[in-house]
Structure 1
Amino acid sequence: MGSARWPSSCLSLLLGLSVLIVGCAAARPPAADVPWSPFPEVHEADAIFTGHRFQDGMVLPEVRIHYATLGTPRRDASGAVTNAVLMLHWTGASGEVLRGKPFQDALFAPGRPLDATKYFLIFPDSVGHGRSSKPSDGARMKFPAYGYGDMVALQHQLVTGTLGISRLHAIVGLSMGGMNAWLWSELYPEAVEGVMPIVSLPTRIAGRNLLWRRFVSRQIREDPEWRNGDYTAPPRGWREAFPVVRMMLDGVPHLQATLPDAPAADAFIASAMAQAEGMDANDILYSLESSRDYDPEAGLGAIQARVFALNFSDDEFNPVSLRTLEALMPRVKHGRFVVQAGDARSFGHFTQAHPELWAEQVAAFLAFLEGE
């Protein structure tokens, strides 16, 4: 099936951090008034991979990947799991963010698109994030310089080795998780039926998206307080860079409506700098620079999975004016995409953290996956 752009009357940052989701997601009501029943119990565990070699050649005696599951695996006559969905988070966040109330209400509650009574949902913390192995565990700048390829390889080991699932029904990835989903569809074409990359593009990071990453990296690395990663307090360069990240995360119409004067802008900056205090600069540096190996463009024609890409018109990380999806999606054999319109009520790139605004697109993806 060729690419098609689906218009929508409704309404990654690649640095949407978990502390942000609490404040931003609370700004909107739950997605829908759906009947509530208790979720199946969430199971959390750590997968330990010994002697793991990273792409940079470094070997760690142990790599820990923390993960959670929600729901119950369903199996076919051969015993293979048929209802597994991998949920992949954005840069600086964790799988726990995707299990928060906004996502529960909009996606996982009974009757919602990824109803946890029907699907077996898997929420890993990607390497360098959450409760998985990361620089701030103690290695600091001696931690392997992981890339997106390393993230996806460890996710694949978790799914196939630890959980014993040979083929995922779907992957839903947000921002960095969306880019991971693109890589999954190319690196492990037999291992997934369909992928839904949200606020991500199937090409190398360049232009504005590259500039802000380099700016933040330089602000950290060139700050004397950073001390080559051996700082004792959040470096000033990181704290002063984060308001720029916050600005890029948000939508232009939303900022225009919510920051009408200098006091409002100053309050925005102060809030962002306060949030930066609670983040580890080395973890952030590693996570931003891990995108260096991302470039799926050449392999788009070989993708076997059904792909349903979702972006937002007010996303400043992935500007729609570049028409990247229009140019590249025709190469995907079974691909569709939506550019959902943003307005003063949406949040640009960070609309990803408001699933009530795009849950209907997940339902459309699942229908597309079933051939409807």
Structure 2
Amino acid sequence: MLRTARLVAVATLLIVPIGAGAQQAKEPITARSAVAALDDLKKTVEIADFRIGGSYDLANPEAWANGAPDGKTLESLDAGPLKTAYIAVGTPHEGPDGKIDNAIVISSFYSGDATSMYFNWIDGQGGNAFSGGPLIGPGKLFDTDRFYVVMVDALGLWGASKPSDGLGMDFPNYSYFDMVQANYRLLVDHLNVGHVVLATGVSMGATQSYVWGLMHPEFVSAVMPVGGATATDGTAPIAAWSFQNAKAGIEGDPVWQKTGGRYYDLPKDQHPIQGSAFHWSVLQLTGYDLAHRQSLGWDAVKGDVFAWDPPEPGFGDGVMALGRLFDAVDLKYRVEVGERHNINEYLPDYEPRTMVIHIENDQWLTIDKARESVGLIPGAQLATERSPIAHYAVFSALNSLDDDPMLSSFLHDIGILPTYGKVCDAPDYISPRVNMNPDPSKSFWKDEMRHPFPVKFTKASDDRGIEWEIGYFDVACPNIPDQKTLVVVHGKGAFASHYGYLIKFAVEQGYRVVALDAPDYGLSGPGNLGKNPARSLQDIRVAFHHVIVDQLGIDKAYYLGHSMGGQIVLGYALSWPEAVEGLILEGPAGLEEFPESVEFGGQSYHLFDPAIDNDKALWEQVWGPTGMLDGERSRTAEGVRDFFHFQTRDPVTGAVSPSPFGYFKRDTEYARLHTDQRVAMITGNPDEFEQWVFAFIFDVYSIGKELVKGDENSLFNRLPQIKAPIFLAFGAQEPFIPSTALNGLTDMANEVIIPFEQRMQDAGNPVETKLYPGVGHFIHTDVPYEFARDATDFMRTGRVNAVSPDVIDALVNGLTLAATAGGPGNVGAGEKPAGLSK
């Protein structure tokens, strides 16, 4: 009998759940369900004339609608039609076409089936504890009041067609494409599913979810593989070693050797059971973290150690039970599916939204392979955890990572988690893409990027009479009464598409959103080639005003500015106060002063001399010696990726170490977009690249020129004149503000944020401030959902979760807060105030 501790493992991953051991393996050879007690919940369907084992030309889906053309049908082998099986729970919703449009499909793992997933993830089942709690049920992550959840068997085991049904070694060599396409036919033909909101699964089920998105990108909106792979076994040495040894154990069994794997005429107890047990022993010992296995002691693991002649009682009992339960040919086929699987070549064109969950110390499907897959899929994101049970933690990973900001944002964005205040789906939204091999003869911004919303263009002049082409988005859901407008202004070097998630979220909260690219950036670059690039921030404001107020007729709006965009909207509020309903400042420039002259290498440079304004030649003369322009122009792809992700690389050894400077603390979808854009632009249109580089460095001057210390009319000195409500947001690990190298300031809390708050308080316009722990300069990508929610809450209520100056100081500088004497809840030496973690 298996020990209680082992029964938990048996219930949850590659081992079969409690109850399956009661199956008597005479006829049929293998059971229909892994959890015998749940067998009555499973339904079996037949798919006639489905071709197995052929080659799939993914560019020609019509050819493999019922399996690849060169595959074999089971009918042609006198075995009857292909079977698959499923358990469906939840609330199906029919769309206008009469088909179910709210399905979640969960594929089964290496030795599991629909009953296994039911046992582990359905509310109230015995596997909930191992999974860290239920995931499927009313009000759970996969909410059965909102979704139709279909758990499917995979071709090759349990309730689906498999070699042990009778064909044995004559069964066609199936693939992951066959697995998925067979279940696609199940969903479409038998369950009337017309749209899958999410394809997910654990382990081999996760590998299938990748394939769901590859084969059916219009049918499947999003995929969330939990511990899967796009190229398995053979591309990862430990996985290859583990599974090749597992297969060798099967083929080394004396019965297998004698019969060549054709043993079905023998009684079940004379099948190659020992070989199957050897197979399970290899996988049991490598599936966990080895240090964890070592810590358990011999008595706890000897049941998983195979021997042809067990030397002591209990030796190998667990794996022998599994050897009797699983058929050797079924397992051999299942191993070989992984040997042949590799879809990496298709990933750069992958369409569905992708959130990969993986275990850092997984020894089969190793983390480096997951990172490689994520790197190949446009916009894909990765959330990870480390666990002593390694690969087996895939069942609990979604619960363990439930507070991960990337996972949370993804689940809200695709609609799995409900979003408070959502009134519609953002019209015409698509996931953005960057062509990483751009054609230099084409416009990079117009032809080599796919933007999240339809692009519009207009002409607008600044006060000097220069006409600029402005690219922008103007997005709103129809039929929203009394709709308010949010204008999004990007930061230095960024572009409107980079704020796609924020735009989408605000639109779905009922706001009209206008997001513009500043002249010489993004979509406002190609049409302005050849014009004097030495324009000022006020030039940008004037051009934007002509678009927003004069052309679009938006008399009053909220203005959200990030970084340099923050300074742009601050100046806009000073120039056109009547047009500003409120300001949202994300890591804004404009709150600090600069000296007119800055010293580098013992020499003084008049970097912020107002005389430079609009004079490109003079600017190059003054700023050229800093080397900033050449440095930005010569960045390599590797250098961009390192810098963007707070890394520095030793030029000699190539060793990578953390850097205090960078862009993205988390590699979210829109962080990826910005990174890919900057990398791809290097080999894109050379004129647009040079235009962008010049603007990126020139705008350091544009910012500083308005903030020169001693200038009574500087933007900095006029900030208290702003009367519009202000939401001020900073990441607590902000790397760029204050601009220490240019102005000598070092303390964001006490030299930037708190003085601004005090000045505005004294002027009668107190600021709503929020600091985001663990976040850098790009709040809208580090914590996308939280920041978007805060921004829309501010527009709706005028409030956010504000924090005090002491908390700002503590978050930024890590200072010890002195406790106030008496009373519970006071903060003592070395403690942090309660409630800082969201």
TM-score normalised by structure 2 residue count: 0.38
Does structure 2 conserve the Cα–Cα contact (< 8 Å) formed by 1:196 and 1:310? Answer: yes
Partner of 1:333: 378
Q: Retained in 1: the 8 A contact 2:276–2:327?
A: no
| Structure 1 equivalent of residue 244 of structure 2 | 214
Counterpart of 1:290, as a letter, is V
Classify 1:76/1:43 alpha carbon distance in 2 versus 1 (closer, same or farther; 3 Å): farther
Structure 1 residue 130: Cα displacement:
1.5
Post-superposition CA distance 1:232-287 (Å, at most 9, x none): 3343222223211101122234323323xx33332442223333222211111111
Residue identity matched to 1:97: S
Deviation at 1:117, TM superposition (A): 1.7
Counterpart check, 1:241 vs 2:279:
yes
Distance 1:358 1:47, change over 3 A: farther
- Aligned counterpart, 1:264: 300
Question: Who is 1:351 aligned against?
Answer: 393
Alignment of 1:242-321 (within 5 A): 242-259=280-297, 262-269=298-305, 270=316, 271-320=318-367
1:280-331 deviations in Å (ceiling 9; x for gaps) = 11111111112233111111111111100011122111233xx333334233
The alpha carbon displacement at 1:87 in A equals 0.5
Query: How many residue pairs get matched?
Result: 332
- Given the superposition, is the C-alpha separation of residues 297 and 188 from structure 1 closer, same or farther in structure 2, using an over 3 Å criterion? same
CA distance in 2, matches of 1:161, 1:305: 22
> 8 Å contact 1:178–1:198 — kept in the other structure?
yes
Do structure 1's residue 49 and structure 2's residue 94 form an aligned pair? Answer: no
Q: Which structure is higher in RCO with an 8 Å CA cutoff and minimum separation 6?
A: 1
Instruction: Give the conservation status (yes or no) of the 8 Å contact 1:103–1:355.
Output: no
Tell me the alpha carbon deviations over residues 4-33 of structure 1, each in whole angstroms, 9 at most, x when there is no partner: xxxxxxxxxxx94352x449xxxxxxxxxx
Aligned to 1:152: 180
List per-residue Cα deviations over 1:175-207 (Å, max 9, x = no partner): 111111111211111110000111112234322
Q: Give the secondary-structure state (helix, strand or coil) at the position aligned to 1:229.
A: coil
Cα deviation for residue 103 of structure 1 reads 4.2
Give the aligned partner of residue 60 of structure 1: 74
Amino acid at match of 1:220: I
User: Counterpart in 1 of 2:253?
Assistant: 223
- Amino acid of the residue matched to residue 215 of structure 1? N
1:80 Cα deviation (Å)?
A: 3.7
CA change 1:101–1:326 in 2 (3 A) is closer
**For the Cα contact (< 8 Å) 1:235–1:281, is it kept in 2?**
yes
CA contact (8 A) 2:113 2:154 kept: yes
CA contact (8 A) 2:273 2:323 kept: no
| Partner in structure 1 of residue 142 of structure 2 | 114
Change (3 A) 1:356 1:156: closer
Q: For the Cα contact (< 8 Å) 1:43–1:70, is it kept in 2? A: no
| CA drift at 1:355 | 5.8
Amino acid aligned to 1:263: D
Q: Does the 8 Å CA contact 1:107/1:359 hold for their aligned counterparts?
A: no
Structure-2 separation of matches of 1:116 and 1:233: 42
> How many Å separate the matches in 2 of 1:211 and 1:106?
34
**Alpha-carbon shift at residue 332 of structure 1 (Å):** 1.8
Q: Quick check: 1:305–1:334 contact (8 Å CA) kept in 2?
A: no
Q: What is the DSSP-based 3-state SS (H/G/I as helix, E as strand, rest coil) of the residue aligned with 2:221?
A: strand
The one-letter amino acid of 1:286's match is: Y
- Judge which range, 328-337 or 148-157, deviates more: 328-337
Distance in 2 of aligned mates of 1:311 and 1:178:
10
Q: CA contact under 8 A between 1:175 and 1:198: conserved in structure 2?
A: yes
Aligned CA RMSD, in angstroms, stands at 2.5
Whether contact under 8 Å (2:233, 2:243) holds in the other structure is no
Relative distance call for 1:243 and 1:43 in structure 2 (3 A) is: closer
Matches within 5 A, 1:28-47: 44-47=42-45
Provide the rounded CA distance (Å) in 2 between the counterparts of 1:253 and 1:365: 33
CA distance in 1, matches of 2:369, 2:338: 18
DSSP 3-state at the match of 1:192: coil
User: What do residues 196-234 of structure 1 show as CA deviations (whole Å, max 9, x unaligned)?
Assistant: 111112234322212222222222123231222315334
Please show how residues 144-223 of structure 1 align to structure 2 within 5 Å. Answer: 144-206=172-234, 207-223=237-253
Q: Do 1:16 and 1:350's aligned partners in 2 also have CA atoms closer than 8 Å? A: yes
Partners of 1:264 and 1:326 in 2: CA distance: 34
TM-score if structure 1 supplies the norm length?
0.81
CA contact (8 A) 2:121 2:136 kept: no
Rounded to whole Å, the distance in 1 between the matches of 2:167 and 2:86 is 22
Q: For 1:359 and 1:89, locate their aligned partners in 2 and report how far apart those are by CA, in whole Å.
A: 21
Partner residue in 1 for 2:106: 87
CA deviation profile, 1:95-139 (whole Å, cap 9, x unmatched): 110001554352013321102122100111111122111111222
Deviations 1:46-77, CA, capped at 9 Å, x for gaps: 22111221124322120011111101211233
Residue 161 of structure 1, CA deviation: 1.9
- Can you give the 5+ residue segments of structure 1 that lack an aligned partner in the other structure? 1-14, 24-41
Give the whole-Å Cα distance in 1 for the aligned partners of 2:134 and 2:291. 24
